[in-house]
Amino acid sequence: MQLGALFDWLIEKGIESDPRSRKELEALAEERKKASAASKNKAAKLADDGQWSNPYGDSQLLYGVRNQEIRRALVGIDIDGAELLLADRWRQQGKSIDLVIAHHPEGRGLIQLHQVMKVQEDLLAAAGVPVNVAESLLSERMNEVRRSVLPGNHQKNVDLARLLDIPFLCVHSPADNQVQKYLTEFLSVDRLGANSQIQDLIDALLDVPEFQMAAAYGMTPQVISGKNRDKTGRIYVKMNGGTSGPEQSIEALVKAGVGTMVCMHLPEAQRKKALEFHLRVVIAGHMACDSLGLNLLMDGLEAQGVEIISCGGFLRYHR
């Protein structure tokens, strides 16, 4: 499989599993394109990547030529110098590694992480939060995340991949979209029942192989607000959108009638806010959730002839 086709396929799978329609994503891309073309801002023009067919700024082909053939990829949740050097060492020993794939954003993908948070407006609106409220809450949070990544040494690992001549990409939102869709459908009322408790939700998660694998090394789903015997009420699954949402969304969700939030991780300030407003929160497990999303993508790559080797916290499970 050629590198360019592989990357385009990953982006396409993200679009297919996005809670927004393809038409909505195309409209957002067209809006960004027109704004860029009309902008007189020199900095904005210099930083524009022109990738209008890719709606996920946090997912990037960081190094490599699009026509390079890919037969084997090293894939991890987090990739840094150690994994890139591992790939190079294997190549020296005659085991070809044609590509390294990171889940968490690197390089430009990290710089543009805030761009993908806009989908959280749609998640909140679907949960019953008025869309005008959702948009207002996300606006400041997106700026906060944008500012938080400014001090980073964004190109460090990309530079190492370039110097070792190892193709390198990160695929973040497309994988998170996969797990968002999967768990939203999996944790349905039909499965859990109308009067389910938090323990029922946790037991259901532990039926998923990735959560079983994480439990084997001690990481199980955790209740950080509420108790195991509390009723779940209406469940809000939050797995995509780049990173944690705004603190004020906790109160908005409760007002909208949400009883329990299931997420990968949550800042301590938001946990305290959840306690204050009696919102039950279950941390499903960061690596288990990320692995679930990646597995759903990597199975598709393997079906197209690309061998996948897992590393960097990636719990590989073949469906």
- Residue-wise pLDDT tens digits, 199-233: 999 999 999 999 999 999 999 999 999 999 999 99
Residue range of the domain that includes 231: 180-285
Confidence label for 36 from pLDDT (cuts 50, 70 and 90): confident
What are the φ/ψ torsions at residue 59 (nearest 5 degrees)? -125, 115
Token pair for residue 228?
């195991």
Rounded to whole angstroms, how far apart are CA atoms 98 and 178?
25
The number of domains in the chain is 2
Domain match, 167 and 209 both: no
Q: What sections of 97-195 are H helices per DSSP? A: 108-111, 119-126, 131-148, 156-164, 173-186, 189-192
Domain match, 22 and 170 both: yes
Domain match, 234 and 304 both: no
Residues ≥6 apart with Cβ < 8 Å to 283: 221, 222, 224, 263, 264, 265, 266
What CA–CA distances, in Å, run from 284 to 66, 182, 202, 216, 231?
Answer: 36, 13, 8, 15, 17
The yes-or-no verdict on residue 128 having pLDDT over 80 is: yes
In the prediction, which pLDDT does 53 show?
84
Confidence label for 41 from pLDDT (cuts 50, 70 and 90): confident
Per residue in 47-63, is it b (16+ CB within 10 Å) or e — as a string?
eeeebeebbbbbbbbbb
Residue-wise pLDDT for 225-280, tens only, equals: 999 999 999 999 999 998 999 999 999 999 999 999 999 999 999 999 999 999 99
The yes-or-no verdict on residue 44 having pLDDT over 90 is: no
Count other Cβ atoms within 10 Å, centred on residue 137: 21
Domain match, 13 and 74 both: yes
Domain match, 144 and 252 both: no
Rounded to whole angstroms, how far apart are CA atoms 133 and 217?
41
Residue 23 inside a domain? The answer is: yes
Domain match, 55 and 154 both: yes
